[in-house]
Structure 1
């Protein structure tokens, strides 16, 4: 099946869907597609249905009876039977959907499935019964039933544990945001510094360029500040209130004020569980539930410390939400007044660099090491990349490592392939390299990792001085990575 010409990338997702919906094997099958909002899931599924002659139904938040009327009308339009459909229950609906695949493999998509299941919690069990082995309606059909949803916590549960649909799905597809390189290509930005700045605010969500920013892309590095003012912090644009809507649309977030405060704590640099609790003036056990819920809905991510067991930090996954909490939410009343954005942005520029851009640059460096670095760089494929704190028992000091690359343990100590430091605004020099060498020696004495092949990585958004360049030329264990290399 030919992918639509106006669909950017999504080669992997299109290929997975194509294989699933065109599978010639007999018997109806189930697929599950999920992903955060605004990633283009609906575009993908509507396109696959149009290409393969399938049926697409987009659910809305409505009472069960209204949803039955809507899908009755949609199926009547699609099938054009002698008399219109008037379904009285979902068992009839599912059997009719399966009948669409009686003659050939055909995609049958129910989008925003969580809305239907919220109104009728028995719906997953009804689908389970419809797909029961040896049932004629299933064996005589080659319908490829796809359930899609943006509520990540709900979509994760429908196939887990003792859920009715556990073990029934032949496809589990997660539609992720574009990574930082694809996002730069999608936005049409060739300057790597500008690309990272834009990515630190809007991330890789496709809808933010086309629908929300109406195609407004910074004309160049000198236009970045003006772009933020006119596009992100402008009350007239959809991006302005999008972070609030993202939270309101999550069905799991009932006590919105508490979840907002947790996100604000992380955006303010309180990345540990204890730090979040102190920020909220609560005990650590009291915030366990909101943290877990935010993880389930894909807004928070827990990064384990590479060097200390049972220690972790949290980061906000959606860049726009991090920007909102770090920059916009503290001065929301001012921003709502027309014409205030330039003044607010000038006052917030330093905070943006420290609380948004700097951490985003560090995470981008980790993504580069895990997904985009040359395989020859580490001599083997990295198993995990993270960050952590190295404690020196001799001096009783702790040293932060921005990038730590760990390989696969083969019967002994896991190899530490590289450690690195990331600086957005600093020109890095020989002192940064010496610091990494000293930390590598501490790690070696601690004895947890094999450091015999540990390389030293220096990531800089501002470049390197002559001594750092000379050190990299004379010692192949020192690697300098600048912004063009990250986007190469």
Structure 2
């Protein structure tokens, strides 16, 4: 099992508690929640039930079979109702911690909303004083946040912990491709993101080009139509969401721009985009120095595979089918450096987060991210790929990130130095440059003189 040590350690801490614990786990589909839970369940005495999209009676029957087989070794008959099922489990609780895991809980609670109240009553009157660890898990993020954890839910106030399972970062994702070069690992992450199921779809035993052709472009391959499949599962009007995601992937990153592009009302777009944010597919980004409510905010696709798919496959599927696998792959790779530019910035930001945790930066960033806005020194719009500052605002780190096939020239160095001049209040300024293909000799010499940090892609892994 790759990664997920933090998640497993957190589950172990709950298990080792001497009192009743109730954890909610959620995260988008394919993120690996069930894998984590099965790994954890395999270590302990655990009742593990995966709900399915069935009616309430059939789910209760499946639950009855699981519980009775676990305790008795065989199935006798279905419990009359959920109250009886939970009462039976109560009678089996001993001094040793009992773990009850219900995976895909929304599949239980949607056909039978009363199960939340039944659980609430059981917790309040029986389980609260018992040595039991209850875990409810779900892929419907909005349902878990609102219907399970929300203040209007009967279960509100009973939960002792929650866990959002998030995608792997670039370094964890690289473990799926031990045979790849550092650049190939970065591109694989740029294409697939950190979703385990997507990473597993590529094989480290074949080249990146072969993976793109066979596991992504080929009709019928798992990844070929995956974004469409998930949208159809999660949403009622996938066509509108498709249009929004395509617009964002093509550079329309404000609500008004997106509305104009897809010919929909701005209010309707805002509502749909909120849903996409809940699904963790897009996020609103503001310049690093601005508050979250800033009107300068723009929208970005957060999932790399969706970003890649809408950029290359969504509008080109018919074209690629005529072009053929070889030429389609060749055309994608010709444009991959341009696509990887913003992705590489995120990779570098993840590197800095890891470095900060390891206390390897000049200071611990209080806020970090991209900055864009007006530079009064050049009287024009300017940007900094990554800007970080400490809690006092007196220490500033500025980073330039370039994913190109040639060494970074002096012009890029000069641009960052000029941008640094804007931050007049900073008493300490640090410059850091990331470059896929290294740096020119003049840049290397200047960096030594000025104590700037130069990092290649090899240094990130």
**TM-score (normalizing by structure 2):** 0.92
Check conservation: 1:193, 1:461, Cα contact below 8 A: yes
Alignment of 1:72-471 (within 5 A): 72-80=64-72, 84-132=76-124, 135=125, 137-139=126-128, 141-157=130-146, 158-189=148-179, 191-210=181-200, 212-213=201-202, 216-217=203-204, 219=206, 223-250=207-234, 253-309=235-291, 310=294, 311-335=296-320, 340-354=324-338, 356-373=339-356, 378-393=361-376, 395-409=378-392, 414-425=393-404, 426-444=406-424, 450-471=425-446
- With over 3 angstroms needed to count, the CA separation of the structure-2 counterparts of 1:83 and 1:293, relative to structure 1, is closer
1:205-257 C-alpha deviation (Å, 9 max, x unpaired): 222344x34xx2264xxx3223211221112421222222222232xx22111
- With over 3 angstroms needed to count, the CA separation of the structure-2 counterparts of 1:121 and 1:319, relative to structure 1, is same
SS at match of 1:169: coil
SS at match of 2:276: helix
SS at match of 1:9: coil
Shift of 1:420: 1.7
SS at match of 1:193: helix
CA RMSD of aligned residues (A): 2.3
Distance 1:271 1:189 in 2: 37
- With over 3 angstroms needed to count, the CA separation of the structure-2 counterparts of 1:8 and 1:343, relative to structure 1, is same
- With over 3 angstroms needed to count, the CA separation of the structure-2 counterparts of 1:351 and 1:90, relative to structure 1, is farther
Shift of 1:81: 7.8
- With over 3 angstroms needed to count, the CA separation of the structure-2 counterparts of 1:373 and 1:82, relative to structure 1, is closer
Distance 1:179 1:393 in 2: 36
SS at match of 1:126: helix
Check conservation: 1:218, 1:227, Cα contact below 8 A: no
SS at match of 1:17: helix
Distance 2:337 2:251 in 1: 13
Check conservation: 1:98, 1:143, Cα contact below 8 A: no
Check conservation: 1:326, 1:352, Cα contact below 8 A: no
Shift of 1:114: 1.0
Q: What corresponds to 2:460 in structure 1?
A: 486
Shift of 1:462: 1.8
Q: What corresponds to 2:32 in structure 1?
A: 40
Check conservation: 1:308, 1:389, Cα contact below 8 A: no
Distance 1:45 1:374 in 2: 27
Q: What corresponds to 1:4 in structure 2?
A: none
Check conservation: 1:433, 1:456, Cα contact below 8 A: no
Shift of 1:377: 5.5
Question: What residue ranges of structure 1 are gaps of 5+ in the alignment?
Answer: 1-6, 445-449
SS at match of 1:389: strand
Distance 1:422 1:279 in 2: 30
SS at match of 1:302: strand
SS at match of 1:463: coil
Q: What corresponds to 1:447 in structure 2?
A: none
Shift of 1:403: 0.6
1:7-65 C-alpha deviation (Å, 9 max, x unpaired): 2222111111122123223xx33111112222322122123223212110000111112
SS at match of 2:43: helix
**TM-score (normalizing by structure 1):** 0.87
Distance 1:271 1:56 in 2: 43
Distance 1:81 1:198 in 2: 46
- With over 3 angstroms needed to count, the CA separation of the structure-2 counterparts of 1:226 and 1:298, relative to structure 1, is same
Question: What residue ranges of structure 2 are gaps of 5+ in the alignment?
Answer: none
Distance 1:101 1:168 in 2: 19
Distance 1:142 1:398 in 2: 60
Shift of 1:375: 5.8
SS at match of 1:456: strand
Distance 1:176 1:374 in 2: 18
1:363-410 C-alpha deviation (Å, 9 max, x unpaired): 11122222335866543211221112131346531101111112213x
- With over 3 angstroms needed to count, the CA separation of the structure-2 counterparts of 1:150 and 1:336, relative to structure 1, is farther
- With over 3 angstroms needed to count, the CA separation of the structure-2 counterparts of 1:139 and 1:475, relative to structure 1, is closer
Check conservation: 2:348, 2:434, Cα contact below 8 A: yes
Check conservation: 1:202, 1:208, Cα contact below 8 A: yes
